[in-house]
Structure 1
Amino acid sequence: MADHIQSSDSGLNGSNDKFSRSGFIFAAIGSAVGLGNLWKFPYITGMYGGAAFFLLFIMCLLFVGLPILLAELTIGRGGRGSAASSLVRLSGNRLWGGFGVIAIAGAFFILSFYAVVAGWTLHYMVLSFSRQLFADADFGQRFAHFNGSWLPVLWQFVGMLVTSAVVYKGVSSGIEKFNKIFLPGLVILLLLLVIRALTMKGAWEGVEFFLMPDFSKLTTESVLVALGHAFFSLSLGMGTMMTYGAYVDKRQSLGSATLAIGAGDLIYALLAGLIIFPISAAFGIAPDQGPSLVFIALPAAFAAMPLGWLFGGLFFLMLAFAALTSTVSLLEVPVAYTQDKLGWGRRLSTVVVGCLCFLIGIPSALSGGGLYGWLSFGGGRFLNGWILSPQTLFCRLAALL
């Protein structure tokens, strides 16, 4: 099988469509800095001890996450195929392709619910900039009403449409250009919101909680959660980095790229914490509320501050940028596989996979109420089941070992 490995400096399956050196860094960081560090990271940090958990996360990222990231990029560049075919080409054993298929399926199903949450951020961005979000002070009721209607399906469709349009245009013309525009915009928004958060009265209590460790709060469970989040935030185990690796220039240093991606992910998590925790402290909000922190508690905080509609809109715009850079990388994984396995063109693959993912995501979009509110997963809402099940499964497997 070794003779099937692509030795030329081409992209997937010999295609000339590949990343430039800087384009790959932008795209890979864009994949890593998704909703995980802005939506999930603050509330799990709040649940597991603040700064002590952040330090634990850094250790997991450095000593476990980055070596695996480098391995995945190496496999992708060496195999020059999808996550499945690269493993087969490098191992010479077709059984390894099954592990790649599992990763690809994981990316597909993660995207099916990730696009739903991306749709929430787009909806709330529009509501905030139009000031409709602040017309009623009952933000919990507003979120419940929205989540129990058909609107999440509409906004899920918008998120998938934008994602599919980017992937449809290809690697260099679509994914690379998209990330080169959105990622700098995301950094600017992060810095603006950090400045605003740190200048609030009482904000430094949140900074101390985030940056002053209390190791007595660490438990075995917090170690597993930190490790799981390191995997999730770097897009590991879902075929993304193996797929992106297939488009990397053979002269590019993967070691340097890995360090750059890890640094980008850590800086992003740090800035996210310097936004969420100061605002939470300034307005007396518990930082361990889960999804309601972003869509219920923080809008109440924005409503109470001068120009809150503007800063709220910028916050949800930032969330939307983060979500879409990740949905693009997730969609590319199954699209690359259909091109590789079925011989389809990029455009047909993108349309078919994008439509299927949208349809499969509808139960998640409607699980908050409405026609399919009865859908459940493990005793909870269908969407919560998708989100929590990978981490829960990881923790249970680790406990068995």
Structure 2
Amino acid sequence: MNEKQERFSSAGFILAAIGSSVGLGNMWKFPYITGENGGAAFFLLFIACLLIIGLPLLLAELAIGRNGRGSAATAIVRSGGGKGWKSIGLLQVITPFLILTFYIIVAGWTLHYAVQAFTGNLLQNHDFAGQFSTFVTGGLPIVWQFAALFITGAIVILGVANGIEKFNKIVIPSLIVLLIILMVRALTLPDAEQGVSFFLRPDFSQITAESALAALGHAFFSLSLGMGILLTYGSYVHKEQSLGMATLAIGAGDLIYAFIAGLIIFPTTFSFGIAPDEGPSLVFIALPAAFSAMPYGALFAGLFFVLLAFAALTSAVSVLEVPISYVMERFRMKRKTAVYVICLIIFLLGLPSALSFGDYPALTFGGKSFFDWVDFITANIMLPVAGIGVTIFAGYYWKGAAEAVGLRAGWFRIWLFMIRYIAPILIFLVFLYTTGILKFN
């Protein structure tokens, strides 16, 4: 079997796809945006958005990938889209490439914090805000950026079956064990029931138009849509695999992970009097403070950041495979060479983002740091545009959609309606909102 013929096993494909969605977003971003938008009501809204926009687009990307049997750049063209559609495919290669330049930096942070927790250094100094600031403004993030990228590249270099699949077969079950351990610890903390109530007892008066768009956006991003990952992974799927069942399994995995993350974060924050809407600092500043106040805090802090690091790396592996697949296809490059070249470029391009938190005025412009600009452009512009492109192709131009998707007639009509009329409109609204064009104040 040569590199072009690599395939996932059925179970390996589902675990790898779940791994791509089980990233920092659900453990880091999901809790604080849920806290900002009223808790349980927002979570129910998020579930609805997964069903309305997430799963139909997820299925479309997988089907296009399997039908096209190529990289993200060529899958739509090979599925009958014509050369004019190649730009959408290229966008889904460039976007994850750029995302990884800053995502791998945060993955490095999680590795650093895991080591600091297990060595006992993290909880010795109770100035957690100062500790985090000192770390991100120094040179250490570059070291950990390299470490996270090295681990990611070492997995991808082994290939689809021997690298990505085997890694996810080990890590995803390990994630489940860690999630359960941390959930049990969180649920047994004093006053944990207040956090559970906040997370599971809906107050629909807290829901606004902004909340709805935030839920839509997170449903889109948490499943790794518009990033070329599912197009690429779809090309590695056997013809016998039911894409409909796989889509449900992947969506369920993403939802369960988000649910358990909520049952870890909210009981912990309420138990120690931490506001659940503290934003990104919740994970690296507020939670270490909580761990320092509980028995065996260093152990549970270590387990938490190992969980976070595993989640970050499963997504990073998926993201890296997208440009690797393209470079192998486009330049006839061997996998090992492609990984070396792409990882080196990602590391170098990521340096400005890694240094964005230090005192470098040249890396801040327009009120945003270099890190924030790359995040903003990729997440708020490139991903939605790619997602809209896929919905238009699948809904209006793809003549072989019915056969490729593999749904029964009734379900196919529902899927086609969602892809044609619902998903593109909602994604466009998210695009308008996240870019600041649509405002509610």
Q: TM-score, normalised by structure 1?
A: 0.94
Q: Is the 8 A contact 1:240 1:330 kept in 2?
A: yes
| Cα pair distance change 1:378/1:234, threshold 3 Å | farther
Helix, strand or coil: the match of 2:122? Answer: helix
1:33-112 matches, within 5 Å, as 33-112=22-101
Matches of 1:261 and 1:97 in 2, distance apart? 27
Partner of 1:200: 189
Cα deviation, 1:187-245, whole Å, max 9, x if unaligned, reads: 10000000000000011101111111111111111111111111111000010000000
Match of 1:384 among 372, 383, 386: 372
Q: CA separation in 2, counterparts of 1:266 and 1:373?
A: 40
5 Å matches for 1:323-334? 323-334=312-323
Distance 2:142 2:252 in 1: 35
The 3-state SS of whatever aligns with 1:132 is: coil
1:338 to 2:327 alignment: yes
Of 199, 202, 223, the match for 1:210 = 199
Asked if the contact 2:98/2:378 (under 8 Å) is kept, the reply is: no
Match in the other structure for 1:304: 293
Residue 103 of structure 2 is matched in structure 1 by 114
Cα distance in 1 between the residues matched to 2:431 and 2:73: 26
Contact residue 366 and residue 373 of structure 1 kept, 8 A: no
Q: Which AA in structure 2 matches 1:397?
A: L
- Equivalent runs, 1:287-298 vs 2, <5 Å: 287-298=276-287
Shift in CA distance, 119/373, structure 1 to aligned 2, threshold 3 Å: farther
Question: What's the offset of the Cα at 1:390?
Answer: 4.6
Shift of 1:131: 0.3
- The alignment of Structure 1 onto Structure 2 pairs a total of residues equal to 389
CA displacement at 1:374 relative to structure 2 = 4.5
Work out the CA distance in 1 between the residues paired with 2:208 and 2:376.
Answer: 19
Provide the rounded CA distance (Å) in 2 between the counterparts of 1:289 and 1:388: 20
1:25 is displaced (CA, Å) by 0.7
Measure, in 1, the Cα distance between the counterparts of 2:380 and 2:337.
Answer: 35
User: Does 87-96 or 239-248 show the bigger shift?
Assistant: 87-96
Quick check: 46-55 or 193-202, which moved more?
46-55
- Which of 144, 148, 152 is matched with 1:155 structurally? 144
Provide the secondary structure at the position in 1 that maps to 2:73. helix
CA contact (8 A) 1:367 1:374 kept: no
Contact conserved, 1:225 with 1:391, CA < 8 A, in 2? no
Letter in 1 for 2:8: F
Equivalent residue for 2:220, pick from 219, 231, 236? 231
2:274 pairs, out of 264, 278, 285, with: 285
Specify the code of the residue in structure 1 equivalent to 2:94.
A
8 Å contact kept, 1:38–1:272: yes
Which residue identity is paired with 1:115?
A: I
Query: Of residues 231, 251, 262 in structure 1, which corresponds to 2:240?
Result: 251
The CA distance in 1 between the partners of 2:224 and 2:354, in whole Å, is 23
Does the 8 Å CA contact 1:228/1:391 hold for their aligned counterparts?
no
Q: Say if 1:43 and 1:290, in contact at 8 Å, map to a contact too.
A: yes
2:385 is the counterpart of 1:350: no
Measure, in 1, the Cα distance between the counterparts of 2:374 and 2:185.
34
CA contact under 8 A between 1:367 and 1:376: conserved in structure 2? yes
**Structure 1 residue 185 corresponds to structure 2 residue 168:** no
**Residues 346-355 or 87-96, more deviating:** 87-96
Greater shift, 207-216 or 372-381, is seen at 372-381
AA aligned to 2:374 is W
**Distance in 2 of aligned mates of 1:80 and 1:172:** 16
| 8 A Cα contact 2:95 2:378, kept in partner | no
Contact 1:377-1:384 within 8 A present in 2 as well: no
What is the CA–CA distance in structure 1 between the aligned matches of 2:310 and 2:77, rounded to whole Å?
35
Cα distance in 2 for residues equivalent to 1:252 and 1:202: 46
Query: What TM-score do the two structures reach when normalised by structure 2?
Result: 0.86
Amino acid at match of 1:258: T
Question: How many angstroms apart in 2 are the aligned matches of 1:243 and 1:27?
Answer: 12
Which residue identity lines up with residue 372 of structure 2 in the other structure?
N
1:234 touches 1:262 (CA, 8 Å); kept in 2?
yes
Aligned to 2:157: 168
What CA distance in whole angstroms lies between the structure 1 residues aligned with 2:252 and 2:111?
A: 27
Please, which of 18, 21, 41 is the counterpart of residue 32 of structure 1? 21
Conserved? CA contact 1:167–1:350, under 8 Å: yes
Please give the alpha-carbon distance, in whole angstroms, between the structure 2 residues aligned to 1:154 and 1:198.
36
Between the aligned residues of both structures, percent identity stands at: 58
Query: For 2:41 and 2:309, how far apart are their aligned partners in 1?
Result: 29
- Structure 1 position 362, deviation (Å): 1.1
Distance 2:361 2:293 in 1: 32
> 1:235-270 CA deviation, whole Å, 9 max, x = no partner?
000100000000001100000000000000000000
Task: Deviation per CA, 1:148-202: give whole Å up to 9, x if none.
Answer: 1010010010000000001100000000000001111111000000000000001
Quick one: distance in 1 between partners of 2:133 and 2:372? 15
Shift of 1:385: 3.1
Instruction: Name stretches of at least 5 consecutive residues in structure 1 with no aligned partner.
Output: 1-9
Amino acid at match of 2:334: G
